[in-house]
Structure 1
């Protein structure tokens, strides 16, 4: 019996052959004659990227494609209409003429226009974006800032970056929720205030951004475990010693302070593993959990941008296929996740061997998250824990043991009001509070979101629960690396790909962090 993975990879190989080796005329674009404009539609401001000729393609759910010369949107009937050409699934021209295309029949819109009707922007892939906005992106096109919505919260002194939403949701079909700790967030006058920003060349589609407030005891902390449950601990225990490849790293992981332990990747294999051992002593009875504050490095950003660049001018076709396949194609691409892996946790037993107890995994290189992994066995006295992870993939800020863990129950809080450009934005508030709607943000957008707490006198631990997806804009500078065969290797033989690509990554690894943080998009 052919399993899902086999079927998906066979389909991908077929797709790569079609796209990369025998691309039919008109597959990525179609040239209309100058006199072809029977609709007479005139759009005042297409806001084309770098003034290029307009490209507007509609990838349909039945695998056909419309390439439109002129178009507009009928909001009453939810229809895209205009003059264009229709191609079948094999990209053979079927007809040219005037069309009315229902929005619900479209899988993906692909264009190089930036001024897109709000009704379709949430399903639009922007192509041909330029990185020339910063010198840092020019020097390293695959280190430009990007990931997902970023959230800042008041820490008592300033608005501090504390969360990034749904980092793995790179397309509509991959929309999912994400829970992030707002570990340093503090309320003000009965409200918790967040600033949500889009600081990348991306379209962010936010279904909701709710606060989870967990009432807690005095001097206790609450953590979200790897299953999304909340546990309170009134005793946080620090390790007495650590051992990594470079020696003792206790000074880097003893507190949650942005001083992070990081190991460069292997020069010959990006999936090469390493271990860290942590020693705890004088432990008392009680339910325990390992606490870890961590985030990914830019290795996954590099690999993701590589995959997009290998797609090249056919990125729209790949993403449209993903939408028709309900995300299964990209889930196959994510097979490489199993090789790179998360942070596996082991505990030493009485026989001096190691018992596996679970794994930490959180996508995203922007914000450091803190989570708890429950240890479902009795521990007393001394305890040694081992972490196993891919070299160069993780930055670790804090390691501790939480004792006396007990389940606590959260209160979910919807936004009370939203401010944009110093004005109350009731439309944005409605979009965040209605599950059937979405708030769409574009590069440079900022929203201040306030949440009314149910009891000002209570003590809370705060978390952010967000849901949505984002669409990366395809940069011009990536297109020169279009390579369907390398994309095939990344998907079908990631183990070998991680060996082959290691030297290229090592050339930029030491400079990526600086370029990444200096290239955040700010609207002028």
Structure 2
């Protein structure tokens, strides 16, 4: 059974707010009221704004805002506008009649997940198109919540001014994402653009690691290359080094880093002949990058057998012994939610658990992650069975990352290459897959740039902390901590060449949780078993889907 994108949105909203609530036949109330700017500032860091469903209220029209990204200066918000699903019509009707009631069904309680952005009529907004919202045009933001004693929160931006108003809305969007890795933005096309995350999964000091992320960059007006490393969520983040690789190469190739930082040229990527998951060809999901179509490892039957995978088949050139698998992928927000519910089981003993984990051997921590199927495992079929080539560490859910995986095909008979990708239930999302048999280019010119200037959000010089790997870290303990880093740059003179930019960073981060519930030791015991987290993920999904079916029967 596979989940459509629409189903995933619905299920994700239900499970996040909350999954285990009891269904009753009575009506409950929600409320959206206006508050002054002091209330905005006071509540902007509240965790209650996680996992929201964003709606653009464009005059008399309404659209679902997907793939939301906020500019680093917090003045614009880019999204893709889609038709509003029927389960999110309730406030469009009740907001006019002031009848703020909803049934505790999957359809009507979806209203509790909504954030409404009100703007004057803009004729450029249309279903199916990309849209950039200037936040100074936002008249009001309504955050819809359950009315416990007729209380709720709403945000009014009128009269706040561009800078403050844009910051308020931008912060709200950032907080609508759950915990993630340190955010990386790079200056490109006259603005800082959020582009991904670094050292995902390195949540203990002993897991501190090097990471390599490709960036889209262009020089600032001052002729520098500029990027930002920021903490946007409840985490304590530590960065040891921020080295920028500038690779000059021929225009007819692409340069991609593997997980260890080795550079590979991609000259002739070949799509799979087939991509089979649970007996179905899912090639349409993998053949075009950036098309918002992904394979989500969402087959419940395969997951129940701990065999959730997709097999990519390629034609093998005669006598080829090596190749590069090229993937564009990320972790899912679903995984973020599942892991959050797992840690909730520690309750008010979460800090004690984290303290004990900081003393655990690296091998033990990595073995647990592997047993729980958190990494993406890449294997090749040989005459001796499936041979694991690599396991990819988690990247984070914020943005797709392109990576290259060298694979040994010397033991694969001529004819067909089968590559298997496997992980836990809905832990990863694959956007694109191809293979390249060309030899790596030998003419790459790699310049390793150290920062020339680095300042934090207060203007403090933090350059010495980022110049080398010395275990002296730039620490970012609070949301809003941000380091702007600049590099000297010599413009490319050879018009036959182009350049690729890759950030090499090293560090780790720690989640901050403020759970007040008592620990649930019975619940936690299951996670000592292999594949328990994947099984739990599937159980959450099935429970949500059953809730959906029960709600439909009652209607």
1:131 is aligned, of 34, 47, 52, to 47
How far the C-alpha of 1:436 sits from its partner, in A, is 5.1
Q: How far apart are the structure 2 equivalents of 1:358 and 1:256?
A: 24
Contact 2:249–2:445 (Cα < 8 Å) also in 1: no
Q: Which residue of 2 aligns with 1:176?
A: 209
SS in 2 for 1:482: coil
Residue 403 (structure 2) pairs with residue 377 (structure 1): no
1:486 is aligned, of 523, 526, 532, to 523
Contact 1:265–1:393 (Cα < 8 Å) also in 2: no
Q: How far apart are the structure 2 equivalents of 1:446 and 1:480?
A: 32
Q: Any idea what the Cα deviations from partners look like across 1:97-129, whole Å, max 9, x if unmatched?
A: xxxxxxxxxxxxxxxxxxxxxxxxxxxxxxxx9
Q: Which residue of 1 aligns with 2:336?
A: 301
Q: Any idea what the Cα deviations from partners look like across 1:301-341, whole Å, max 9, x if unmatched?
A: 23432343222222222222333x2x428944851423415
What does 1:339-354 align with in structure 2 at a 5 Å threshold? 339-340=372-373, 342-347=375-380
Residue 500 (structure 2) pairs with residue 466 (structure 1): no
Residue 392 (structure 2) pairs with residue 335 (structure 1): no
SS in 2 for 1:474: coil
CA RMSD of aligned residues (A): 4.0
Contact 1:297–1:365 (Cα < 8 Å) also in 2: yes
Contact 1:294–1:369 (Cα < 8 Å) also in 2: yes
Residue 237 (structure 2) pairs with residue 321 (structure 1): no
1:446 is aligned, of 482, 490, 496, to 482
Contact 1:212–1:413 (Cα < 8 Å) also in 2: yes
Structure 1 residues 339 and 170: alpha-carbon distance in aligned structure 2, compared to 1, 3 A threshold: closer
SS in 2 for 1:238: coil
Q: How far apart are the structure 1 equivalents of 2:113 and 2:430?
A: 28
1:431 is aligned, of 465, 474, 481, to 465
TM-score for both structures, normalised by structure 2 = 0.58
Contact 1:267–1:506 (Cα < 8 Å) also in 2: no
Q: Which residue of 2 aligns with 1:3?
A: none
Contact 1:271–1:495 (Cα < 8 Å) also in 2: no
Q: How far apart are the structure 2 equivalents of 1:284 and 1:453?
A: 44
How far the C-alpha of 1:396 sits from its partner, in A, is 0.5
Residue 387 (structure 2) pairs with residue 356 (structure 1): yes
How far the C-alpha of 1:196 sits from its partner, in A, is 2.3
How far the C-alpha of 1:294 sits from its partner, in A, is 1.3
SS in 2 for 1:236: coil
Question: How many equivalent residue pairs?
Answer: 376
Structure 1 residues 401 and 159: alpha-carbon distance in aligned structure 2, compared to 1, 3 A threshold: farther
Q: Which residue of 2 aligns with 1:257?
A: 290
Q: Which residue of 1 aligns with 2:172?
A: none
Q: Which residue of 2 aligns with 1:365?
A: 397
Contact 1:165–1:466 (Cα < 8 Å) also in 2: yes
SS in 1 for 2:184: strand
Q: Any idea what the Cα deviations from partners look like across 1:405-434, whole Å, max 9, x if unmatched?
A: 32657432222223555x8x3512233226
How far the C-alpha of 1:361 sits from its partner, in A, is 1.0
SS in 2 for 1:383: strand
Q: Which residue of 2 aligns with 1:291?
A: 326
Structure having greater relative contact order (Cα 8 Å, sep ≥ 6): 1
Q: How far apart are the structure 1 equivalents of 2:428 and 2:482?
A: 29
Where does structure 1 lack aligned partners over 5 or more consecutive residues?
1-49, 52-128, 512-524
Structure 1 residues 265 and 440: alpha-carbon distance in aligned structure 2, compared to 1, 3 A threshold: farther
Contact 1:273–1:388 (Cα < 8 Å) also in 2: no
